[in-house]
Amino acid sequence: DVDVAILMKELDRNGNGKIEYREFKSFIQEEMRRSEESPQEQGKGLCLAFRVFDCNEDGAIDTNDLKSAMKNL
């Protein structure tokens, strides 16, 4: 639960308790700058990763989604 709280604090930049796609994308893009994949492959990976974390498919990642996804990793 502590790890989830830390991730939420880092990723939820507008503080609404959810990680919207744009917040997730911004975080992942920062991480992908170190990647050697093509931009197209990175884009595909971004969408797939967001779907993994958006467990209830509401277009945002809340604490419950994050906990569920982390249990499955």
Hey, what domains does the chain have and what are their CATH numbers? 2-72 (1.10.238.10)
* Average pLDDT value over all residues in the chain: 87
Q: Is the pLDDT of residue 1 over 80?
A: no
Give the CA count within 13 Å in the CB-facing half-sphere of 59: 1
CA–CA separation, 23 and 11 (whole Å): 6
Q: Which residue has better confidence, 53 or 1?
A: 53
Q: Are 48 and 28 in contact (CB under 8 A)?
A: no
Per-residue confidence (pLDDT) for residue 54, from 0 to 100: 93
Q: Model-level pTM?
A: 0.68
| pLDDT band at residue 14 under the 50/70/90 scheme | very high
Least Cα distance to 12 among 2, 27, 1 occurs for 27
CB 35, CB 42: distance < 8 Å? yes
